[in-house]
Amino acid sequence: MTNEAGDVVEPTLSFRGGRIMAAVPIVFFVAWAVAISVAGAPDTRGLILGAVFGLAAGMFLVRDKWSRYAEEIFRGMSDPVGVVAIVAWFWAGMFANVLQVGGLVKGLAWLGVQAGVTGGAFVAMTFVLAATFATAVGTGYGTTVAFCTLMMPAGILLGADPVILFAAILSGAAFGDNLAPVSDTTIVSATTQDTDVPGVVRSRVMYALVAAAPAFVLFLILGGSSEVLDIDKAVGMVEAHTDPRGLLLLLPFALVVFLALRGHHLLTSLTWGILVAIGIIAAASLAPGSAILAIDPTAHAVKGALVDGIGGYVDMAALILLIVACSHIMRAGGAMDGVTSWLVARSGNSVARAEVSSWLIVAVLNVFITINTAAEIAAAPFVRRLGMKFGIHPYRRANILDATTSALGYIFPWSGAVLIGYQTLSNVAETYPFVEVVEPTRVWPYVFHGWFLALVMLGAAVTGVGRTYVGKDGLPTKVRPQR
List Cα–Cα distances, 309 to 138, 289, 410, in angstroms.
12, 16, 22
Average pLDDT over residues 267-274: 90
- Residues 357-414: pLDDT tens digits? 999 888 888 887 767 887 888 888 889 988 998 999 999 999 999 999 999 989 988 7
Average pLDDT of span 252-275: 86
The residue-averaged pLDDT of 329-334 equals: 86
Please give the full DSSP string across 74-120, using - where no structure is assigned: HHHHT-HHHHHHHHHHHHHHHHHHHHHHHTHHHHHHHHHHHHT--HH
Is the model's pLDDT at 181 over the cut of 50? Answer: yes
Once rounded to an integer, what is the mean pLDDT over residues 425-429? 85
Q: Tens digits of per-residue pLDDT, 280-300?
A: 999 999 999 999 999 988 888
CA distance 377 to 134: 21
pLDDT band at residue 10, thresholds of 50, 70 and 90?
A: low
Residues 119-137: pLDDT tens digits?
899 999 999 999 998 898 8
Please give the radius of gyration of the chain, using alpha carbons only, rounded to the nearest integer.
23
Q: What is the pTM of this model?
A: 0.80
209 falls in which pLDDT band (50, 70, 90)? Answer: very high
